[in-house]
Amino acid sequence: MNLQSVKTRFGIVGTSSGLERALATAVRVARADITVLVRGESGTGKEALPKIIHHNSTRKHGAYIAVNCGAIPEGTIDSELFGHEKGSFTGAHEARKGYFEEADGGTVFLDEVGELPLATQARLLRVLETGEYLRVGSSKVRKTDVRVVAATNLDFEQAMANGKFREDLYYRLNQVPLMLPPLRDRGDDIHLLFRKFTGDFSERHHMPPIRLGPEAVELLKRYPWPGNVRQLKNIAEQISAIETERLVDADRLLDYLPELPRRDLATIPEGEKNGAGPGLNEREILYKLLFEMKSDLHDLKSLVLKMMQEGRIDAGSSEDQSLVNRVFGEQEGTDLLRLPERAGGDAGWAAASAETSEGEAGFAESTEVEESLSLLDSERELIQRALNKHGHRRKQAAAELGISERTLYRKIKEFGLK
């Protein structure tokens, strides 16, 4: 069976080299009755390869059972896989066959095999090596003839080092490794998949299909897709259901792409490390990072002032005094939380605290206003310079600034830049 017919039969879209290499290997090893381990990130579509292997093998007329190992509670996983005898545990009102017994002569697909508890891993290893197993609550050895295909996104090296996965089981499962590439490495496949998902949705709901403008297509390809094909399908169906205008541009597409939960740090281009070329130099990049740090410091000062006002900082504690001194940059001997004379009592402390807080708050407010104006001007200037340097190509400008393209779009609109 050639690759195109395999893709058509199993609904696989894409022409990337990594995908086609995995499909070709799956077809080649299908008739060799050995264990296969499919690896790849969550959402890459690992469940398609075991079906391809089964339907191209000599076991294709036997049973095919897919088991999500991560969805079965630890207390019942042995019973699900290997069966149990009547009365073997509370609720076992009758004997039951397990998946390995039901699939005798066929294929068992163990999805998320890395989630199996260690005791179950030992049982699975015995099945793989000898074809023998015991039902829960039985001492009678049973035999089964199944082919096992497993899949996981687990880092086996780390799991084995931590004692959470058996090394001997890993090597037994990994007779033929198959690696599915993440969506971000599949280039033009991303747009093909998007068109398939929106086309399927429009056909199912009798709506015109969504089309993307050229910039939107480029944005779609550049987005890293941490959720892989599953995330792309979700977003394609969201757009198909919500958008009334069926031609979607890059600005509209950005509304559906979640910004990644991380802070992008600027990198210095190789040619500019020594000051060569226009654009952002090392000093400006450091200034940008200092701006972010200063913003965090203002937040910290505001939090400490609020705690002082609410009395949540112990005025008699040397540790609290030291903390406040460090936050506000005072000398270590300075007592910002000193109590007034005993004659003033609690009222005197409250008045002193309020006065101190008011003064600090006023200072912080005036400083923040002055710094905000200058920093906003500097930020606007940095963005404009990056845009000018790269001929207003937003992808390169965003990379230069060390921010996401979505953030750059927002800043351009905020500052009214062209």
Reported as a single tens digit per residue, the pLDDT across 69-106 is 999 998 899 999 999 998 888 888 899 999 999 999 99
pLDDT over 60 at 365, yes or no: no
252-266, 319-333, 386-400: which has the minimum mean pLDDT?
Answer: 319-333
pLDDT score, position 213: 93
DSSP label of 270: G
pLDDT confidence bin for 262, thresholds 50/70/90 = very low
pLDDT confidence bin for 21, thresholds 50/70/90 = very high
Q: How far is CA 68 from CA 30, 116, 279, in A?
A: 21, 10, 52
Specify the 3-state DSSP secondary structure of 138. coil
Distance CA 119, CA 116 (A): 8
CATH architecture of 3-181: 3-Layer(aba) Sandwich (3.40)
Q: How far is CA 299 from CA 126, 306, 373, in A?
A: 58, 11, 17
**Could you state, in order of their start, the residue ranges of all structural domains in the chain?**
3-181, 184-254, 270-415
Give CATH for domain 184-254: 1.10.8.60
Average pLDDT (150-179) is: 94
Distance CA 321, CA 354 (A): 17
Query: Which positions ≥6 away from 187 have C-beta within 8 Å?
Result: 16, 221
- 251: nearest Cα among 20, 406, 82, 93: 406
Distance CA 58, CA 33 (A): 8
Kindly report, residue by residue over 337-356, the tens digit of the pLDDT: 443 333 344 444 444 444 44
The CA-to-CA distance between both ends of the chain, in Å, stands at 54
pLDDT confidence bin for 273, thresholds 50/70/90 = very low
Kindly report, residue by residue over 281-340, the tens digit of the pLDDT: 455 555 556 656 666 666 666 776 666 666 666 656 666 666 666 655 544 444 444 433
pLDDT score, position 410: 78
pLDDT score, position 285: 56
Beta-bridged to residue 68, according to DSSP, are 111
pLDDT score, position 413: 78
Beta-bridged to residue 7, according to DSSP, are none
pLDDT score, position 295: 64
Distance, CA of 24 to chain centre: 28
* Confidence (pTM): 0.63
Beta-bridged to residue 199, according to DSSP, are none
- 266: nearest Cα among 411, 408, 401, 405: 401
Secondary structure, 3-state, 140-156: CEEECCCEEEEEECCCH
pLDDT score, position 397: 80
- Average pLDDT over the chain reads 80
Distance CA 217, CA 391 (A): 20
If one compares 243 and 387, the residue with the highest pLDDT of the two is 243
CB atoms within 10 A of CB 365: 11
| Phi and psi at residue 97, to the nearest 5° | -80, 145
